[in-house]
A and B are shown apart, each in its own frame.
Chain A
């Protein structure tokens, strides 16, 4: 079949919430190692699409496969996670009452069983991995602070760090730059770029400067009313008349 080398393949997805068609006949394919940016106006179905991939909601019709053999529609959230699909939420979702390090510890790849949680020890290489991630996300000196006391941007990074700890094959990153300063946004972009190739990444974003930064030479997918409006390089989609009409037209000044 043609989907053979795709990491993630969605075909004919439909999902409506009490009459509102959030996802409409959506087809989407992602190759291994890609860094794909998904843009689209509010209500285009971006977050719903991530909900479908991660098992938070189930589609009305359609198919969704991971590594061609795994039917994601038959799995629940934690089973899908265990396949290696990690998600960063739109609003930073970290464990506020836990320390930064504990947040990473809970996200580390490894057994998710009760017995392991009771008797399992933290291995040396896991400690080292946590140190490494803390360094990557620039939170080394806040390692023992409660995550709830972090600034907004730091929480976003911590959540990205949690995805790194998981060692996910596919990272789904929902608006990582939301609420960040320009400098933080730029650093986040660099962080994502450095991960591309090692991981496959889907980034949902509004900030066009940020999109340009991370999507140079890569595919950008534009969603509109739950459907793929067009796909191509960032220049191509920004000059596409349909895109300008539904999305960039309203934001032309900003872009």
Chain B
């Protein structure tokens, strides 16, 4: 284990995967070896992976099971969606400068809060800011009041459910239950062209790599030590002089922003955002990805998000009625037999082998003793 290569091999493997995702996939797509549809699907998976990392940074590393992480994902998506809606211009069904749903609702002019979203940089800023601020306010109230464990989980679930109900209302001028769709262009490029889609995929892949590297740095810093200390023994952390609430708030806001960025990249690739993305089921799904992949690691959530969604794409076309059962069963199986998820399998096998070896050695020793006793 102390061999100098032992630490380098996983890093090399990670670098190879990152290189393949960022360079290999788009190049193969440009060369025609990977279909546009496949690349687009993978772009979606990578956005989910970004979301999954944010779930794991809270759950696996800090012990905060947030069941509302999709709220921040969707908020980021909505911020990007507002910009994309305005970029449709007069190409919509009603040939109006206003987004179609506003014309439908009888609006004559754009609500004031929509105006700045004509600017892409502003929308991009809001992708970070809105999830960050909402997460900050909620986190401040929850952590100051020392809401912990399952109560925290229930509250986050209530928060996202409440937000979904709000976004379903037409009076919010955020598209009601239909949300935003029918996007045409992003940064002047046709949003449906293979080239733009490839760029969107590329943006997702690069963002994922950057998020991964950021989280790697965060979790290996002294902050990461404190984060895991809070997970294992929050009382001790308080009695070591750390304000656990501030540390939790910090990571909660960071995770809200990460999820927001994931959502902002997701929406132009799938071409739609509506309040159903905020429903608690979606957040629960993200928790399943993390559990399957392996929580408390950074690669686990990525593997889990890609694998479970790959499985979902396959199952929902082949056996649409059974998907929920398959997902539920896989979650139960993982919880029962793979507590550390897929990335924990090698360690589990090593442990099992060591135990077997130990048993065998004990049995051999016993045999030796009994035979020695016989010869006496």
Contact = CB atoms under 8 A, between A and B. Distances in A.
B242 A78 contact: yes
B187 interface: no
A93 B242 contact: no
Contacts of A112: 241-243
A82 B226 contact: no
Interface in B202-223: 218, 221-223
A140 B238 CA distance: 26
Contacts of A122: 222
A112 B222 CA distance: 11
Interface stretch (B15-23, B227-235, B307-315): B227-235
Contact of A105 (B222, B238, B243, B247): B222
A80 to B, nearest CB: 9
Interface of B: 218, 221-223, 225-226, 228-229, 232-233, 235-236, 238-244, 246-247, 250
Q: Is the interface of B mostly helix, strand, loop or mixed?
A: helix
The 8 closest A-B pairs by CB, nearest first: A81-B241, A77-B238, A117-B223, A117-B222, A95-B229, A112-B241, A93-B236, A78-B241
A96 B241 CA distance: 18
Interface string A107-129: 10000101011111010000000
A87 B228 CA distance: 20
B225 A162 contact: no
B240 A97 contact: no
Contacts of B218: 118
9 contacts: A56-B235, A77-B239, A95-B228, A96-B233, A97-B232, A102-B225, A106-B240, A106-B242, A118-B218
Contacts of B232: 95-98
B324 to A, nearest CB: 34
Given A95-B233, A97-B232, A87 B239 contact: yes
A118 B240 CA distance: 17
Counting chain A CB atoms within 10 Å of each CB, the highest count among B221, B242, B244 belongs to: B242
B276 to A, nearest CB: 36
A106 B218 CA distance: 16
Nearest to B227: A117
A105 B226 CA distance: 10
A79 to B, nearest CB: 8
Given A114-B223, A114-B250, A82 B233 contact: no
Contact of A106 (B226, B235, B243, B246): B226
A37 interface: no
Nearest to A148: B232
A185 interface: no
A56 B235 CA distance: 9
Contact of B240 (A56, A76, A107, A114): A107
Contacts of A164: none
A105 B235 CA distance: 17
A243 B244 CA distance: 41
A215 interface: no
B223 A54 contact: no
